[in-house]
Amino acid sequence: MRKILLSIVAMLCCTAVYAQEKITVYAASSMTNAVNELIAAYQPKQPLDIVPVYAGSSALARQIEQGAPADIFISANDDWVTHLLNKNIVTSDKVTLLAGNQLVLIAPQSSKLNSLMVNDVAAWLDALHGSRLAIGNTTAVPVGMYAKKALEKLKVWSSLAPMLAQTNNVRLALALVERQEAALGIVYKTDALMSNKVKVVHEFDSSLHSAIHYPLVQLTDRDTVNQFMLFLRSDRAKNILQNYGFSVMTGTDSFAF
């Protein structure tokens, strides 16, 4: 009887240990819906709690730098990953490319605007009509940094800069346009596609800014993390990302700096 009781206790202890296994995924706001589905689709070999944390890439990178217990980081641009590399928080062999995205201009679904000549300042001013252009923070939030580069190349930045409504992440910029608190917004294509309250009025040419990459960074070396990283690079994961409008990488796609 005692042996049976000890066996039961041992089994319960093992179950408790497994139940405590947790992976914390820090992901850019624009990855919210896709990562939620990736987590739901993953079938681990043992009980596992995968906890996503969503925010702007800059905020997440700074938290990681300060010691936040993240296991995986999905950034919306290369710069913040380079920052962590320079701080010796991560090594380049733990970074791969996960996905790509596109920059678009959006307006509320009810807007009469259906297209815009983005190199024409007068067209911008007419479309804004005293309202604001919702955009991520242009010094820290990747979508805002990409947008600023595009607007500078189009030679309309100086005219539009005073009319910006800058936000801490892309989802907040999207929300401003959804609520019609901003007449226009610059967001990722994937964010625009998930909302029925906005419409795309222009797709920016990718030559106007640096490539929109989503680096996938492994911060800890545990078997559960290793297995989830393998899943994130699998064909099934790529199909999920594509369903949300992301472009996906093929081959090994090691990250180049």
In the chain, % of residues over pLDDT 90: 87
Which of 111, 105, 110, 66 minimizes the C-alpha distance to 89?
66
Question: Which residues define the annotated binding site for molybdate?
Answer: 30, 57, 170, 188
Q: What is the pLDDT along the chain (257 residues), one digit of tens a residue?
A: 555 444 444 554 444 444 569 999 999 999 999 999 999 999 998 899 999 999 999 999 999 999 999 999 999 989 999 999 999 999 999 999 999 999 999 999 999 999 999 999 999 999 999 999 999 999 999 999 999 999 999 999 999 999 999 999 999 999 999 999 999 999 999 999 999 999 999 999 999 999 999 999 999 999 999 999 999 999 999 999 999 999 996 544 444 43
What is d(CA 44, CA 162) in angstroms, rounded to the nearest whole number? 50
- What sign has the CA pseudo-torsion 45, 49, 54, 60? negative
Report pLDDT digits (tens) over 174-206. Answer: 999 999 999 999 999 999 999 999 999 999 999
Query: What are the residues whose beta carbons fall under 8 Å from the beta carbon of 76, sequence distance 6 or more?
Result: 28, 29, 30, 31, 57, 101, 142, 143, 170, 188, 212, 214
Question: Which residues define the annotated binding site?
Answer: 30, 57, 170, 188
- Spell out the alpha helix ranges (H) of the chain: 2-19, 32-41, 57-65, 79-86, 121-128, 142-153, 157-160, 170-178, 189-193, 223-232, 235-243
CA within 13 Å, CB half, 94 = 20
Task: Tell me what pLDDT residue 16 has.
Answer: 46
184-188, strands of its sheet edge to edge: 164-167, 133-136, 184-188, 103-108, 198-203
Domains of the chain from N-terminus onward: 21-100+212-244 (3.40.190.10), 103-203 (3.40.190.10)
* Residue corresponding to tokens 């990302």: 241
What is the DSSP code (8-state) at residue 181? Answer: S
DSSP 76-133: SSSHHHHHHHHTTSS-GGGEEEEEE--EEEEEETT-S-----TT-HHHHHHHHTT--E
Task: Tell me what pLDDT residue 24 has.
Answer: 98
What is d(CA 56, CA 170) in angstroms, rounded to the nearest whole number? 7
Q: Cα-flanking dihedrals φ and ψ of residue 175, to 5°?
A: -65, -35
